[in-house]
Homo-oligomer: A and B are copies of this chain.
Amino acid sequence: MSGSNSVDRDLRRRAEAVIPGGMYGHQSVALLPDDYPQFFASGEGAWITDVDGRRYLDFMCAYGPSLFGYAHPGIDAAYARRLGQGDVLTGPSPLMVELAEAMVAMVSHADWAMFCKNGTDATTMAMMAARAQTGRKTIVLARGAYHGAAPWCTPRPGGTTAEDRANQVFCAYNDIASLEAAVASAGDDLAAIFAAPFRHDAFVDQAAPDPAYARRARDLADERGAMLVVDDVRAGFRVVRDCSWEAIGVRPDLSTWGKCIANGHPISALLGNDRARSGAASIYVTGSFWYAGAAMAAGLETLKLVRETDYLERIQTLGERLRAGLADRASAAGFGFRQTGPATMPLFLFDDDPDLRKGFCWSSAMLAHGVYVHPWHNMFLCAAMNDADIDFALDAAEQSFQTLKMQAHDLPPVEKLAFLAAR
């Protein structure tokens, strides 16, 4: 039974009938190895169980939301308690004010907060607030950076128009000359410079922000009277207990948050300083569930854990042990194995692997050994992981490097990633 994926296959067949393409968005497995499960039955702590009963140590953490582990008793109890008093009502509850106060107290640059549901809501609101504040339209973005999936920013063009992408100028992340050129081309119409806290693009090595680049972005925004936006939806609270660029001493005007601020309960946020307040107050943005209390109760509980526990030091230490252990094992097996990104948000790529066939083979072997890794997207550690989990992952990795070594000379091309070779 444990080798069967019959439940997953049956669900995929049913999904094919009632969901376009069988699945959509970032949780579609269309671009993952064929043996990756599409559907999961449950999650607990750092582990997930697929619908065929196989358990995995999960280095995706739901693509970020799980910071303290799945089905966290304390956080979920706060959510459920608030459900008992009513969740969405005809107005917000006091929890909205408390959560705004808590975020503002924790994030150095922030004087105010607005809550929403998707990370994309927060980035879209950042763009609108910056345009309203400055009375200008042009935004500068780094080429390839993910800022959400609305028509203005979704990474694939299907269903979008040229007008959706108007008033955007692109630069190369960490390239000061390119940033300066983009800002110059915006002329006197620069509304905002958007920045990822580090380069966490898919399919490529991650890159820490060059502090000189971050400072130049800040200075250029100041010179031009524009807003600097740090999009911390993905990285928030996995780099520092503050906006991620606080670690390099640069404070944005606006920052966007989501994913793990309520440990996976649905809430996101736009934070801003007083320079950006009147613009933010002038935009009309809303959603049916934005004022609901339960996710805010879970957020307050999550922020308490962020403030009062050593979760960050623990996942940094675990991430460094994992990184060192993987480096040793890859090297012993003779592979060039690049680990980039913060230790808490690693991405793994093999040298000389343009269509990721080595990555697919190794990741599939990890999966077979009970460790869920992603072959081309940054991963996430969570505070429910422990040393035994890292040992488990390293044992799986050692065996997976051996599997790859045996098969490396004869790996089939990865047809579904053929587009990568064309880049």
Chain A contact residues, CB within 8 Å of chain B: 11, 14-15, 17-21, 23-27, 29, 37-44, 48, 50-51, 58, 60-66, 70-71, 76, 79-80, 83-94, 96-97, 100-101, 104, 111-114, 117-121, 124, 127-132, 137, 149-152, 154-156, 158-161, 163-164, 166-167, 233, 258-259, 264-266, 268, 272, 277-292, 295, 372
Q: Do the beta carbons of B94 and A51 come within 8 Å of each other? A: yes
Minimum Cβ distance to chain B for residue A7 (Å): 8
Bound state CA distance, A287 and B18, in angstroms?
A: 19
Number of copies: 2
Q: Do the beta carbons of A97 and B137 come within 8 Å of each other? A: no
Q: Do the beta carbons of B66 and A120 come within 8 Å of each other? A: no
Q: Assuming A83-B76, A86-B43, A154-B284, is B159 touching A163 (CB within 8 A)?
A: no
Minimum Cβ distance to chain B for residue A346 (Å): 16
Bound state CA distance, A142 and B39, in angstroms?
A: 40
Q: Do the beta carbons of A286 and B132 come within 8 Å of each other? A: no
**Inter-chain contacts of A41 with B (CB < 8 A):** 85, 93-94
Q: Do the beta carbons of A86 and B281 come within 8 Å of each other? A: no
Q: Assuming A287-B120, A291-B27, is B91 touching A159 (CB within 8 A)?
A: no
Which 4 residue pairs across A and B have the least CB separation, nearest first? Answer: A25-B286, A43-B86, A128-B159, A21-B281
Q: Do the beta carbons of B137 and A161 come within 8 Å of each other? A: yes
Bound state CA distance, A407 and B350, in angstroms?
A: 79
Q: Do the beta carbons of A92 and B23 come within 8 Å of each other? A: yes
Q: Closest chain B residue to A62 by CB distance?
A: B88
Task: Contacts A129-B159, A154-B285 known; list 11 others, CB within 8 Å.
Answer: A14-B97, A20-B280, A24-B114, A24-B284, A65-B88, A66-B88, A71-B87, A118-B289, A118-B290, A149-B286, A266-B295
Q: Closest chain B residue to A45 by CB distance?
A: B86
Give which listed residue, B40, B152, B286, contacts A91 with CB less than 8 A: B40
Minimum Cβ distance to chain B for residue A43 (Å): 3
Bound state CA distance, A39 and B95, in angstroms?
A: 10
Can you show 18 pairs from A to B with CB atoms below 8 A apart?
A20-B281, A24-B286, A27-B291, A37-B91, A39-B97, A40-B89, A50-B91, A58-B90, A65-B88, A76-B84, A117-B118, A118-B289, A127-B151, A127-B159, A128-B158, A151-B152, A158-B283, A159-B279
Interface centre among A58, A100, A154, A158 (most CB of B within 10 A): A158
Q: Closest chain B residue to A64 by CB distance?
A: B288
Q: Do the beta carbons of B288 and A63 come within 8 Å of each other? A: yes
**Inter-chain contacts of A268 with B (CB < 8 A):** 288
